[in-house]
Structures are given as structure tokens and as C-alpha cells.
């Protein structure tokens, strides 16, 4: 081998090792999981472990969302594994990750039909497990009067390696469920992808899956439309990257109604964190079936 070839081969080997350790390489794990979790000293730490703990909290009481894969988390995981009749190693492997998402992804969040004091508007979005089915969302004022109902799509990107829709915990997956702080922002700069009208931004998750997801793990969950190529209002809307898609007419109407409620249009933050304004609205997204 020439020294050039040797160097090239070495570089490729190093690159492949680096790549396989990169957090974006999933090695067959369903996102948000991407690595095997085993107890180490010091413990492994990360957002994947916070989500793991949130999912385990749906099977067991008093699970701390520490983000550390410690003895307690591993013990609860082994209990989950034995309840599901799989190898109770206490380690997170691909099979366990799939079963955990299948059984525990639904957060059980239920909308209470109310708006907390101090907020000027609420948007309620019911969703089906099959996000390809568009649903009717509602805009309320602070007395819970319905001001508008409108069609929405909350389907995120497809995972092309599995042919399945990406779940709520994936970077570009379905819109997360739960209760969130919401605010009215000036238009995004790209009307083709986001429409020409002001948008609403999910600022912070309060309960449900949104509690861990927004905005620590996913940011830029918006309610918007688009000037989608080859689309017209008789058609289903395109999949989003996690946003709530709605028809141009409806997003225009929302942008006209909110100021009549005393809602200020904030200068769009384009995802800047921490969010610099006091959120004026509430977003409630509930899995109904």
C-alpha cells in the first residue's frame, strides 16, 4: 500500500469510529434513544435519560427526572422489563426502547376545559395516534368562548429507515402533547414554509410529554401555514417538522382575532432561548384516540 492509501484507510477507520459514537447515529435505536444505557460510574447523563425516566414514571411512582442513568433508574427499567417478559438486564437495549415507546409514550394528558388565570387565549388541539388524520382545533378567549375552529395537521417527518412516522420525542417528529405556554409572534421570514402571516409559538411545556420536550429538547414548535407547492385547501396539508400546520385562511383569521383580545404581536424570536416575553396564551394538545 502506498502511504497515501494507508493514511486514507486510517482516516476512514477513525471517521467511522467517531461517527458511530456520534449522538446522531442511532444504530437501530428508535429516537430519542440512540445508545445502550448501562450503569457506569460516574453515571451516563443526557436528555435521552430524562425521557426514559419520564416514560418509566408512567409505570412507577416517584421517578426522579435526574437525567442520570443510576442504580435506581436501572432497577425500575429491570422491573419494566420483567413486567413485559423480556430480559430484565436493567440496561436499555433496542428491544426495551421499542416496547417502552410503544407502551408508555402516551402521556394520558386530559384537557380540563379551562384557561388558567392571566392568559388571554387558548388553543385546544385534539390529535389521533394516527397523525395522518387531520383534526379540528379551537381558539378560545379568556372566558372560554369559541372564537374559531380550524383544521390542523400535527404529523411530523417520516423516518425513512423504518417507514414510520417519527414520534414526539424525535427532533422532527409529531407535535408533542400536553399543556404549553403559547405566544403570538410576527411572521417567519420564509413564507413558502411558514406562510406570510404572524405565527404562534409553543414557548414552554407545563405537563405531559411537552413538559420534558419543550423547549429543552425541541424548540420552534409553531402554529403556522405555508405557501406549499401544488397544495390547495381541498387537500391534506403536508407533514411538518413538529409544528401545527393549518390552512392560510385560518392562520390569517387567528392573526386578526388575537389583537382584538388585547394580545400583542411580539417580534419573532426565531427560537432564541430563554424566550424573552411573557407568554399570553395557552396551548393544549390532547391525544383522544
Ligand X SMILES: *[C@@H]1O[C@H](CO)[C@@H](O)[C@H](O)[C@H]1NC(C)=O
Strands (DSSP E) contained in 171-243 are: 178-185, 199-205, 222-224
Q: Does 160 bind ligand X (CB under 6 A)?
A: yes
Q: Rounded to an integer, what distance in angstroms lies between the CA atom of residue 286 and that of residue 154?
A: 11
| Least gap, CB of 190 to ligand X (angstroms) | 16
| Least gap, CB of 60 to ligand X (angstroms) | 30
| Least gap, CB of 163 to ligand X (angstroms) | 10
Q: Does 158 bind ligand X (CB under 6 A)?
A: yes
Q: Does 288 bind ligand X (CB under 6 A)?
A: no
As to burial, measured by CB atoms within 10 angstroms (0-12 exposed, 13-18 middle, 19+ buried), residue 45 is middle
- Pattern 115-144, ligand X, x by CB under 6 A: ---------------x-xx--x--------
- 3-state SS of 253-279 is HHHHHHHHCCCCCECCCCCCCCCCCCC
| Least gap, CB of 131 to ligand X (angstroms) | 8
Binding test (CB under 6 A) with ligand X, winner from 149, 162, 216, 264:
149
Q: Rounded to an integer, what distance in angstroms lies between the CA atom of residue 283 and that of residue 289?
A: 19
Nearer to ligand X, 47 or 157 (CB): 157
How many residues make contact with ligand X (CB under 6 A)? 9
Nearer to ligand X, 137 or 210 (CB): 137
- 3-state SS of 4-40 is HHHHHHHHHHHHHHHHHHCCCCCCCCCCCCCCCECCC
Q: Does 39 bind ligand X (CB under 6 A)?
A: no
Q: Does 2 bind ligand X (CB under 6 A)?
A: no
Q: Which residues pair with 244 in a beta bridge?
A: 223
| Least gap, CB of 12 to ligand X (angstroms) | 24
The residue ranges that bind ligand X (CB under 6 A) are: 130, 132-133, 136, 149, 157-158, 160, 172
Amino acid at each position: 500500500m502506498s502511504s497515501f492509501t494507508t493514511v486514507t484507510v486510517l482516516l476512514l477507520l477513525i471517521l467511522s469510529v467517531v461517527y458511530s459514537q456520534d449522538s446522531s447515529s442511532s444504530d437501530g435505536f428508535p429516537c430519542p434513544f440512540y445508545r445502550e444505557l448501562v450503569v457506569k460510574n460516574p453515571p451516563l447523563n443526557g436528555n435521552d435519560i430524562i425521557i426514559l425516566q419520564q416514560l418509566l414514571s408512567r409505570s412507577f411512582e416517584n421517578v426522579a427526572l435526574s437525567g442520570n442513568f443510576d442504580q435506581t433508574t436501572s432497577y425500575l427499567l429491570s422491573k419494566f422489563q420483567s413486567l413485559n417478559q423480556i430480559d430484565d438486564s436493567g440496561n436499555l437495549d433496542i428491544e426495551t426502547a421499542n416496547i417502552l415507546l410503544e407502551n408508555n409514550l402516551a402521556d394520558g394528558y386530559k384537557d380540563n376545559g379551562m384557561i388558567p388565570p392571566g392568559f388571554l387565549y387558548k388553543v385546544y388541539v385534539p390529535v389521533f395516534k394516527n397523525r395522518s388524520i387531520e383534526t379540528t382545533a379551537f381558539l378560545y378567549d379568556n372566558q372560554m368562548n369559541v372564537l374559531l375552529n380550524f383544521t390542523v395537521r400535527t404529523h411530523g417527518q417520516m423516518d425513512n429507515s423504518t417507514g414510520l412516522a417519527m414520534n414526539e420525542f424525535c427532533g422532527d417528529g409529531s407535535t408533542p402533547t400536553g399543556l404549553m405556554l403559547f405566544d403570538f409572534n410576527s411572521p417567519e421570514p420564509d413564507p413558502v414554509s411558514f406562510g406570510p402571516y404572524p405565527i404562534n409559538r409553543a414557548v414552554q411545556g407545563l405537563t405531559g410529554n411537552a413538559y420534558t420536550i419543550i423547549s429543552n429538547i425541541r424548540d420552534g414548535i409553531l402554529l403556522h401555514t405555508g405557501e406549499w407547492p401544488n397544495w390547495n385547501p381541498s387537500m391534506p396539508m403536508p407533514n411538518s417538522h413538529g409544528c401545527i400546520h393549518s390552512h392560510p385562511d385560518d392562520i390569517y383569521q387567528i392573526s386578526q382575532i388575537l389583537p382584538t383580545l388585547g394580545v400583542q404581536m411580539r417580534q419573532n424570536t426565531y427560537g432564541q432561548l430563554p424566550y424573552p416575553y411573557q407568554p399570553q396564551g395557552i396551548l393544549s394538545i390532547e391525544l383522544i384516540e
